[in-house]
Amino acid sequence: MPPTRAARRPAATELPAEPTQARRFGKARTAQSTALLEDYAELIADLLASGGEARPTDIARRLGVSHATAIKTIARLKREGLATARPYRGVFLTEAGEALAARVKSRHRLVVDLLRAVGVPSEAAEQDAEGIEHHVSDTTLLAFGRFLKAHG
């Protein structure tokens, strides 16, 4: 049996166990990587619903990025089967894309509503929801819904 190295210091007491914490951080990283796709899907659905078209330039303007950046992300949406695009003709959502957009939109609304229900001013609620929404699990969403039903 090879000699085992002694622990260099006593185990931490206040932190979550290592694997637990690592799993949490990992999930948060995953959520982050899908956040952008979610925002695009939601925005494209809104543009299609309200104006009939979702053009790269419109998308870029709404997001505050360059049109080149928008086009690249649209390419990722296509790669992941969420959107299609005909050159010079705008962007469309696949079924998967529409489903994602619907989920994201309802989640966005629910997050804003919950924030407002606990007393967050409108503009802050709208602002913070834009980031928060991507990290709200189904479990949490359910709790939000119940809370709003009871109060609100």
Partner DNA sequence: AACTAAATGTAGCCTAGGCTACACTTTGGC
Partner DNA sequence: GCCAAAGTGTAGCCTAGGCTACATTTAGTT
Contacts with DNA, residue ranges (CB under 7 A): 2-6, 8, 29, 33, 35-37, 55-58, 64-69, 71-74, 76, 85, 87-90
Nearer to Mn ion, 29 or 86 (CB): 29
Examine residue 119 and tell whether it contacts its own copies (CB under 8 A).
Answer: yes
Q: Which helix or strand (DSSP H or E) is residue 91 part of? A: strand 91-93
Q: What are phi and psi of 31, to 5 degrees?
A: -55, -40
- Rounded Cα distance between 76 and 24, Å, is 26
3-state secondary structure of 92: strand
List the structure tokens of 115. 């924030």
Partner whose binding site includes residue 108, from Mn ion, DNA, its own copies, none (CB under 5 to 8 Å by kind)? Mn ion
Q: How far is the CB of 80 from its own copies (least distance, A)?
A: 20
Examine residue 58 and tell whether it contacts Mn ion (CB under 5 A).
Answer: no
The residue whose two tokens read 């119940």 is: 146
Which candidate, 41, 57, 61, places its Cα nearest to that of 106? Answer: 41
Partner whose binding site includes residue 50, from DNA, its own copies, Mn ion, none (CB under 5 to 8 Å by kind)? its own copies
Q: How far is the CB of 14 from DNA (least distance, A)?
A: 20
